[in-house]
Amino acid sequence: MSRKTKRWLLQLQILLALLALASFVFYQQVGIAGSNVLTPVQQQLLKTVSNSTNYSMSERKTFQRIMPVNDDLLEKVFITVKTTGRNHLTRLPVIIKTWFQLAKKQTWFFTDTNDQHLSQVTGGHVINTNCSATHSRRALCCKMSVELDVFLESKKKWFCHVDDDNYVNVPALDELLKMYNPIGDWYLGRTSTPKPLQIRTKFQGYKTTFWFATGGAGFCLSRALVLKMAPISGNGKLMAIGDRIGLPDDVSVGYVIEHLLKIQLTRVEQFHSHLEPMRLIKKDLFNEQLTFSYSLDNDPNTVDVDGFNEITDPTRFLSLHCFLFPEASNCVEK
């Protein structure tokens, strides 16, 4: 072997060693470990295929199966459903029949009354916050404060809040959170206003402007961010924040994060609330959406999906669930 060839092989070995070291340092910095973790290139490729309409659903699922995935990520998620006693028999049954079955261990119902039946059907995943059963600002802030405190006690990495009129697309939520590291300060959600909210607090003479994620569409917070919020809004202090700005829980959370902590909201348009027309969400994009909602007022606002009749399924959540997961047991007789 010539001296030139030996020098070239040595240089190649040094280059490979440097690349290996750089990769190790990178993954240590982002807090990822394990052989089943996607590389940045794989993550982008999987995202492209999953979101592209050029691939059939079977092709997308096949592609995802052959990619290495972090299967235990959803185990690190704490999902809270804010509800109230009067909604236990009206709003919760369809949730328990559908998406709750995909995230039984991760999902907890935060309410304002004891309910033995609800506790039984959810495996004990019910927490009585002892907050008021009204829909007042203080009652809402009280429940949100308890949700955040219990999340910190759980040692989970992600906090995701939804309301009792939300459907959660569990696999899509899993995929979303794989794109972010919980050791960073992440505030993921959707705004309900075209411009930042502008308020004047009771104790300040100037206007405050900030974005907030709509609680009715759902939002997620990283553990690192909730830990930073705790000295300001933990242990019931969120109620005082709500009193200061005169606004409810989701706005108070946004005030703490964006205004006080100076951490920006990361907009994720796949969260949805009944404040927007559900029928405008296209069926071929259902799999990519994170949450859906409904309103059954005089002019019902529900997702446009075929399936069960409107008497059996007025919220359309059961039909939506069967569209997303046709193999589910309660979809066989559809």
The answer to whether residue 6 is domain-embedded is no
Asked if residues 143 and 131 have their Cβ atoms less than 8 Å apart, the reply is yes
pTM: 0.78
The answer to whether residue 216 is domain-embedded is yes
- Beta strands of the chain (E only): which ranges? 77-82, 107-111, 126-128, 158-163, 166-168, 187-189, 197-200, 207-210, 219-222, 266-267, 291-293
The answer to whether residue 160 is domain-embedded is yes
Specify whether the backbone of 70 is left (phi greater than 0), alpha (psi in -120 to 50) or beta.
beta
Query: Pairing relation of β-strands 291-293 and 166-168?
Result: antiparallel
Query: CA 176, 182, 186, 192: dihedral to nearest 10 degrees?
Result: 40
Q: Which domain holds residue 98?
A: 71-267
The domain spanning residue 154 has which CATH number?
A: 3.90.550.50
**What pLDDT was estimated at residue 11?**
59
The answer to whether residue 9 is domain-embedded is no
**What pLDDT was estimated at residue 35?**
32
Six-digit token pair at 226?
A: 């909730």
| Residue keyed to tokens 């309409």 | 53
Query: Which residues have a catalytic role annotated?
Result: 250
Cα radius of gyration (the chain): 23
The answer to whether residue 305 is domain-embedded is no
85-92, long-range: CB within 8 Å, 24+ apart, which pairs?
85/111, 85/112, 85/113, 85/115, 85/133, 86/133, 87/164, 88/113, 88/115, 88/118, 91/164, 91/165, 92/118, 92/164
**What pLDDT was estimated at residue 12?**
61
Q: In the chain, how long is the greatest CA-to-CA distance?
A: 86
- The Cβ-side half-sphere exposure at 190, using a 13 Å CA radius, reads 18
Task: Quote the CA–CA distance of 316 and 325 in Å, as a whole number.
Answer: 14
Segments in the chain below pLDDT 50: 18, 21-42, 44-46, 48-71, 334
For the chain, how many structural domains are there in total? 1
Task: Quote the CA–CA distance of 143 and 81 in Å, as a whole number.
Answer: 10
The answer to whether residue 105 is domain-embedded is yes
